[in-house]
Amino acid sequence: MKLGRIIFWIFLSLLLFACDNKKDEYSGLSGLIAEKNEARQSISEATAQKKTQNKSLEKPDDREDTKIASSRKKKEISSIVLYERDIEIVDSSSRKGLAKGVASLNKEGKIIKIKIISE
């Protein structure tokens, strides 16, 4: 019985001693987390500043040129398109309808553009 108590107390003291050492290993963890968060914040601020600088350097004429070019392209397509036909896309092997849409055709009857409406 005495031997059991002695072993119990030795085991208990070793257990408490081991727990105290692990506490010291994690003592600087909160400081590391704080430094990491500060670094993230500074990086995000730097990227935000770069984005605002890039937007301010971009000329307003460039934006207008892209708008004009896209409107010209739309006009070119619309001048080519003469007819619009309702179409149904069908599986060739099973003859099952897969989708419906609208096809834009030119003078020769060639498809210029297909817009799928529903499946």
pLDDT at 20: 54
Long-range Cβ contact pairs of 30-35 (< 8 A, separation 24 or more) = none
pTM assigned to the model? 0.33
pLDDT at 81: 67
pLDDT at 59: 57
pLDDT at 64: 57
Residue 86's contacts (CB-CB under 8 Å, 6 or more residues apart) are: 100, 101, 102
3 state DSSP class of 38: helix
Average pLDDT for runs of 10 along the chain of length 119: 83 72 63 86 88 71 60 62 84 89 84 81
Task: Residue 114: name the closest of 98, 97, 101 by CA.
Answer: 101
CB 102 within 8 A of CB 87: yes
pLDDT at 6: 87
